Structure 1
Amino acid sequence: MTDIADRLEALETRVAFQDHTIDELNATITAQWRQIDMLTRKLGTIVEQVRSGVHIADPSSEPPPPHY
């Protein structure tokens, strides 16, 4: 009988660990999707700025860095 109880306890422990891991993975994926959504919106804004002709600084008009 203790063999079955030990096996059941081992299974319950494994399931609890897996549930914890699944919760952590879900939180990570949710955070990544939020970041992807934010980056997608920022990229869309940049694309619109480029398409609308917003002036982007010409690198040749900027002074050289101090090490030149």
Structure 2
Amino acid sequence: MSSGKSELAWFKSSYSGSEGDSCVEVAIADQAVHVRDSKDVARPAFAVGREGWGQFVRFASER
């Protein structure tokens, strides 16, 4: 069974610079949000549930 990670549509924040350093990329799937290091996309990504991702984004936006 395929993990489907290669089929994900990865994107960076619009706040990322054009040089692409120090960024993470995310891909939104039905059940989870996947996160990876944009400088080393061969390394494994991690996934968090959509609810947990929403809590993280709310927390980060309050800072």
**TM category, shorter:** under 0.3
Which structure's relative contact order is higher, taking Cα pairs within 8 Å and 6+ residues apart? Answer: 2
* Structure with bigger gyration radius: 1
